[in-house]
Amino acid sequence: MRVGVIDIGSNSTRMLLADVRGRAVVPLEADMATTRLGRGIAGGLLDRYAMEKTAAVVQAFRERLDAAGAEKAVVAATAAVREAKNAAEFVGLVRRRTGDTVLVLSGEEEASFGYLGVTAGLPGMEGKAVTMDIGGGSTEFAWPNSDGLRHVSLPAGAVRMTERDYTDGEILDILSGVTGALKERPELQLVGIGGTMTTLAAVAQGFKVYDPRLVHGYVLTPAKIAEILDDLRTRTVEERRRIPGLQPERADIIVAGVRICLLAMGAMAKTTVTVSDYDILHGLALRVAGS
């Protein structure tokens, strides 16, 4: 089945067109626009300009999915929308532009679909991995327990941490409930998803053009991540925009995202993280196809 997925995040809005064959997701086309819907979300309201910009991107993506023959499609939203007091206004705006009802995911659902996407893209990882999805407004963790899959969403994201200038100690406090539990699970392999993680893999390899084939499955160590973080901190935002592998639109928030990654790895005592280009988009594709 050919399906389309649009993911409205706190920092970016992404699109995936894919063929789903059983449990296999075969990407055909993907795109992303930095819409920063989560700007100022700590105040509880979505910015009007950001809502209009995001809705326009969703409409354009939806038209492309239709033109490409998507049999089914879903438009989903995460932290920024689920937390906003004026979420209904944004959902209504998208419905008027596209006819779609936005699926507003809970934090647990977001984590679950991310895990589903990872296990679709990294065969053999199911039951052996803990996924960490560093987004703009939140970070999701998912891992297997004796009673099934556990999902946790925490209010630590690259946009949110940047806007309020959180200290390392404050970030660790937010993460501590999860990282403490996962420190006791050394057998689980850490898999990182989301823009911070794919950016780290791209910067580590010095990409001039993003190549998902080289990002997917790339392994990073805390030492390499710390090296990248130290370099990022010495540069201005404008200088970061020129770093190979770093999307210019992410230059202002990348330091916060990398800090979350490094702090979480240290607290969990993980010595490597495998980057997955398969994520919540691919998990949602399986849901839409009914696989």
pTM value is 0.95
Give the pLDDT score at 122: 96
Q: Which two tokens stand for residue 159?
A: 């946009």
Confidence of residue 42 (pLDDT cuts 50, 70, 90): confident
pLDDT at 40: 84
* Residues in Cβ contact with 68 at an 8 Å cutoff, skipping those fewer than 6 apart: 2, 4, 17, 28, 29
How does pLDDT run across 25-38, given as a tens digit for each residue? 999 999 999 999 99
| 291 pLDDT more than 90 | no
CB atoms within 10 A of CB 231: 13
Structure tokens at 58: 């969703």
User: To which H or E segment does residue 204 belong?
Assistant: helix 195-204
Instruction: Collapse the DSSP code of 145 into the 3-class scheme (helix H, G, I; strand E, B; otherwise coil) and give the result.
Output: strand
CA distance linking residue 221 with residue 262, whole number of Å: 9
pLDDT 10s digits, 10-28 = 999 999 999 999 999 999 9
pLDDT band at 61 (very low <50, low <70, confident <90, very high): very high
Average pLDDT over residues 252-266: 98
Q: pLDDT digit string (tens) for 94-153? A: 999 999 999 999 999 999 999 999 999 998 998 999 999 999 999 999 999 988 999 999
